[in-house]
Chains A and B, each alone.
Chain A
Amino acid sequence: MPPPGVQPSAEQPAPKTGNAKISATDLNFHYGSFKALHGISMEIYANKVTAFIGPSGCGKSTFLRTLNRMNETVRGTRVDGRILLDGENIFELEVSGLRRRVGMVFQKSNPFPKSIFDNVAYGLRINGMAGSRSQLRDGVESSLRRAALWEEVKDKLNQSAYGLSGGQQQRLCIARALAVNPEVLLLDEPCSALDPIATAKIEDLIFQLKDSCTIVIVTHSMQQAARVADFTGFFLLGRMIEFDDTTVIFKNPAKKETEDYVTGRFG
Chain B
Amino acid sequence: MTGRLLLWRRKSVNIVMLTITAICTVMAAGVLVYILGYLFIHGATSLTWNFFTKLPTPVGETGGGMANAIVGSAKLLMIAAVVGIPIGFLAGVYLSEFGDGPFAFFVRYVTDLLNGVPSIVMGIFAYTIIVLPQKHFSTLAGGLALGVMMIPIAVRSSEEFLRAVPKSLREGAVALGASRAKAIFTVVIPAAKNGIITGVMLNIARVSGETAPLLFTSFSNRYWSEGLNQPTASLPVMIYTYAVAPYEDWHQQAWSAGFVLLTLVLGVNIIARTILARNQHVAR
Contacts of A126 in B (CB 8 A): 173, 176-178, 182, 186
- Distance, CA A68 to CA B177, complexed state (A): 10
Range of interface residues on A (Cβ < 8 Å)? 20 to 34
Cβ of A108: which chain B residues have Cβ within 8 Å of it?
Answer: 168
A106 interfacial contact with B, CB 8 Å: yes
Contact A73 to B177, CB < 8 A, known contacts A110-B166, A160-B282, A162-B284: no
The answer for the CA separation of A106 and B168 in the assembled complex, in Å, is 8
Please classify the interface of chain B as helix (H, G, I), strand (E, B), loop, or mixed, using the class held by over half of its residues.
helix
A-chain residues with CB within 8 Å of residue B187 when the two chains form the complex: 112, 122
A180→B178 CA distance, assembly (Å): 12
Q: Cβ of B179 and Cβ of A112 under 8 Å apart?
A: no
- Interface check A104, CB cutoff 8 A: yes
Contact with A along B179-223 (1 / 0, CB 8 A): 100100011001100000000000000000000000000000000
Q: Total interface residues on B, using CB and 8 Å? A: 22
Q: Which listed residue, B171, B179, B284, touches A70 by the CB 8 Å rule?
A: B171
Q: Interface centre among A111, A112, A125, A177, by most B CB within 10 Å?
A: A112
**Chain A residues positioned under 8 Å from B177 (CB to CB):** 96-97, 99-100, 123, 126-127, 180
In the bound assembly, the distance between CA atoms of A99 and B168 in angstroms comes to: 16
Task: Indicate if A145 sits at the interface (CB-CB under 8 A).
Answer: no
Residues of B within 8 A of A103 (CB): 175-176
* Binary flags per residue of B147-183, CB closer than 8 Å to A gives 1, else 0: 0000000000000000000101111111111110010
Q: What are 21 A-to-B residue pairs whose CB atoms are below 8 Å?
A: A70-B171, A70-B174, A73-B170, A75-B100, A96-B179, A99-B174, A99-B175, A103-B176, A106-B172, A110-B169, A110-B171, A111-B172, A112-B190, A112-B191, A113-B169, A122-B173, A126-B173, A126-B176, A126-B182, A160-B282, A176-B176
Residues on A facing B (Cβ under 8 Å): 68, 70, 73, 75, 96-97, 99-100, 103-104, 106, 108, 110-114, 122-123, 125-127, 160, 162, 173, 176-177, 180
Given contact pairs A110-B172, A113-B283, A177-B175, a sample of 8 additional A-B residue pairs in the complex whose CB atoms are under 8 Å apart = A96-B177, A99-B175, A103-B175, A106-B168, A110-B169, A112-B191, A126-B173, A126-B186
B interface list, Cβ under 8 A from A? 100, 166, 168-179, 182, 186-187, 190-191, 282-284
Minimum-distance CB pairs A-B, first 7: A100-B177, A110-B168, A123-B176, A104-B175, A110-B172, A96-B177, A99-B177
